[in-house]
């Protein structure tokens, strides 16, 4: 098997971070609301309720992250190991251990998983439970003491270094330059790496200190994507012009930013407009000295407004509008002055190229058997993306309703790529996530697309199922 690309491995890492954080976003948002409402500068200052803020950030949130990270690695047993290891970090540090939880949770689970593999089938009959319980307790004890004494201080030092670097960037006014990293990373489906891996931990630490953080907005601003889609709606041609207005609703109000990625990939030069819009948005946020109280997930304008603290609405709205305007102007010029290529023909050529590329991969990886599941053999279809939410959920719902209108009842669900269950016949996923889908789900037929809501390959799959059921 050929080695997976660095991009695919980074995407997988980002997907893992997302799987740790997203299930706990409700807790983070609750913490954000408590912060926004009850601290001294909040909407309804309350000394008693404000005392909840610090314990939630110091104990609850890191423990939730570590448990989920451990569970992803080694199930419930891994989750328990992760929390035991993480509590040592929490007690031994005077800063919120969000980053530490992301490390210690999976690490502790990995250690317990390796131990379980080592003693597998070696435990005497009838002693399995006592061995499992005591091994978890003893290993957890060791991990807790190590994290308190050695790992925690190391993470604190690393955190302090990173904080110093970020503060230096902020002081020099170079924060908008992050857009040069953020926008290409997002289009390559690496947005979860930078958001959950970098900006969210920094943002949570800053929010604990000042009640808000700009780091929650440096990569999540929906304005730049809105400007791009508006430019396509007015200056685009063919399928891009037709679909962009609908994509605006999904992107700006639904918060599913992945919807605009194919529009950038159609005309890669538009990444310049995205960078310009995002950078100008960050500049505006900085000038108004605004931030959010928690990470906006999904990145909808509604999430932005709901998580905006008192006195920050003008600056937050201004940052979104400026990003929209700059992105629209720059991308509009780029779309109008770029080489006149029919969007529909471009999509067709991309599909042909992708098909040929996939044929080569099938030969190299021996995955030709995926194509054998077809027609009446298809009983269960899964739409898969990074987190198994948002775009894949809407795609699954739309496809299921289409089948129901045709009189076909079929199991159509949405999952994260790494969590697709057994018994699935077809996986529908974005073409940029193909390598991850193949790696996590070998032997399953995979249909790659560019848009979860409207794509020729989805139409082809629909026609295939309908025709087979009419025979």
Round to whole Å and give the CA distance between 160 and 163. 5
Give the pLDDT confidence score for residue 435 in this predicted structure. 79
Query: HEC states along the chain?
Result: CCCCCHHHHHHHHHHHHHHHHHHHHHHHHHHHHHHHHHCCCCCCCCHHHHCCHHHHHHHHHHHHHHHHHHHHHHHHHHHHHHHHHHHHHHHHCCCCCHHHHHHHHHHHHHHHHHHHHHHCCCCCCCCHHHHHHHHHHHHHHHHHHHHHHHHHHHHHHHHHHHHHHHHHHHHCCCHHHHHHHHHHHHHCCCHHHHHHHHHHHHHHHHHHHHCCEHHHCCCCCCHHHHHHHHHHHHHCCHHHHHHHHHHHHHHHHCCCHHHHHHHHHHCHHHHHHHHHHHHHHHHHHHHHCCCECCCCCCCCHHHHHHCCCCCCHHHHHHHHHHHHHHHHHHHHHHHHHCCCCCHHHHHHHHHHHHHHHHHHHHHHHCCHHHHHCCHHHCCEEEEEECCCCCHHHHHHHHHHHHHHHCCCCCEEEEEEHHHCCCCCCEEEEEHHHHHHHHHHCCCCEEEEECCCCCCHHHHHHHHHHHHHHHC
Q: How confident is the prediction along the chain (471 residues), in pLDDT tens digits per residue? A: 445 566 666 666 766 777 787 788 888 888 888 888 888 878 898 989 989 988 998 899 899 999 999 988 888 899 999 999 999 999 988 777 888 888 899 999 999 999 988 887 676 766 777 888 899 999 999 999 999 999 888 888 887 787 787 777 777 878 888 889 888 888 776 666 677 667 887 887 788 778 888 999 998 899 999 999 999 999 888 777 888 888 899 889 888 887 788 888 778 889 999 999 999 999 999 999 999 988 887 788 998 998 999 889 999 999 999 999 999 999 999 988 876 655 554 454 345 334 433 443 443 344 434 445 555 678 899 998 876 666 787 888 889 888 988 888 888 888 888 778 878 889 999 887 887 888 778 878 999 988 877 788 898 898 888 888 776
User: Given the DSSP bridges, would you call strands 426-430 and 411-416 parallel, antiparallel or unpaired?
Assistant: unpaired
Q: Where are the domains of the chain?
A: 6-175+190-204, 206-343, 349-470
Peptide bond into 265 cis (omega under 30): no
How far, in Å, are 55, 187, 226 from residue 268 at the CA level?
A: 46, 10, 17
Give the pLDDT confidence score for residue 365 in this predicted structure. 43
Q: Which residues contact 331 (CB under 8 A, 6 or more apart)?
A: 227, 228, 231, 232, 270, 273, 274, 277
How far separated are the first and last CA of the chain, in Å rounded? Answer: 39
Give the pLDDT confidence score for residue 368 in this predicted structure. 39
Give the pLDDT confidence score for residue 122 in this predicted structure. 74
The β-bridge partners of 427 are 382, 446
Fold of 349-470: Rossmann fold (3.40.50)
Give the pLDDT confidence score for residue 278 in this predicted structure. 95
Round to whole Å and give the CA distance between 437 and 388. 12
Label residue 422 left, alpha or beta by phi (over 0 means left) and psi (-120 to 50 means alpha).
beta
How far, in Å, are 87, 202, 303 from residue 64 at the CA level?
A: 11, 17, 22
CA angle 191, 193, 195 (to 5 degrees): 65
The residues assigned a catalytic role are 385
Give the pLDDT confidence score for residue 409 in this predicted structure. 86
Give the pLDDT confidence score for residue 192 in this predicted structure. 66
Give the pLDDT confidence score for residue 1 in this predicted structure. 44
């Amino acid at each position: 098997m050929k080695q997976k690309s660095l991009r695919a491995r980074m995407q997988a890492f980002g997907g893992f971070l997302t799987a740790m954080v997203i299930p706990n976003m409700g807790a983070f948002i609750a913490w954000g609301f408590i912060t926004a409402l009850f601290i001294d500068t909040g909407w309804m200052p309350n000394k008693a309720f404000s005392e909840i803020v610090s314990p939630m950030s110091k104990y609850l949130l890191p423990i939730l992250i570590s448990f989920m990270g451990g569970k992803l690695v080694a199930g419930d047993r891994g989750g328990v190991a992760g929390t035991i290891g993480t509590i040592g970090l929490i007690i031994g540090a005077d800063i919120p251990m969000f980053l530490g939880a992301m490390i210690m949770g999976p690490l502790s689970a990995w250690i317990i998983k390796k131990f379980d593999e080592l003693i597998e089938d070696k435990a005497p009959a009838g002693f399995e439970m006592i061995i499992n319980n005591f091994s978890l307790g003893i290993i957890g004890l060791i991990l807790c003491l190590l994290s308190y004494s050695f790992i925690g201080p190391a993470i604190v030092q690393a955190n302090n270094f990173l904080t110093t670097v970020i503060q230096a960037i902020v002081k020099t006014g170079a924060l908008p330059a992050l857009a040069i990293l953020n926008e290409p990373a997002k289009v390559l489906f690496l947005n979860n790496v930078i958001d959950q891996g970098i900006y969210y931990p920094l943002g949570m630490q800053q929010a604990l200190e000042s009640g808000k953080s700009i780091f929650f907005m440096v990569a999540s601003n929906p304005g730049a994507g809105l400007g791009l889609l508006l430019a396509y709606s007015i200056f685009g041609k063919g399928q891009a012009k037709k679909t962009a207005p609908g994509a605006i609703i999904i992107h700006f109000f639904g918060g599913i930013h992945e919807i605009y990625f194919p529009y950038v990939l159609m005309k890669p030069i538009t990444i310049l407009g995205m960078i310009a819009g995002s950078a100008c948005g960050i500049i505006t946020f900085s000038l108004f000295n605004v931030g959010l109280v928690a990470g906006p997930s999904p990145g909808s304008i509604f999430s932005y407004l709901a998580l905006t603290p008192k006195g920050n609405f003008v600056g937050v709205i201004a940052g979104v509008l400026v990003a929209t305007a700059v992105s629209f102007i720059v991308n509009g010029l780029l779309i109008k002055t770029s080489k006149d290529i029919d969007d529909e023909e471009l999509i067709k050529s991309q599909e042909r190229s992708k098909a040929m590329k996939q044929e080569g991969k099938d030969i190299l990886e021996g995955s030709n058997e995926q194509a054998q599941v077809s027609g009446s053999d298809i009983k269960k279809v899964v739409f898969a993306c990074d987190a198994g939410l948002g775009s894949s959920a809407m795609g699954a719902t739309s496809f299921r309703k289409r089948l129901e209108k045709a009189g076909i009842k079929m199991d159509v669900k949405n999952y994260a790529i790494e969590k697709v269950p057994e018994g699935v016949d077809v996986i529908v996923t974005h073409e940029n996530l193909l390598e991850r889908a193949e790696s996590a789900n070998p032997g399953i037929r995979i249909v790659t697309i560019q848009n979860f809501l409207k794509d020729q390959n989805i139409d082809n799959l629909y026609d295939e199922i309908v025709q087979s059921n009419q025979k």
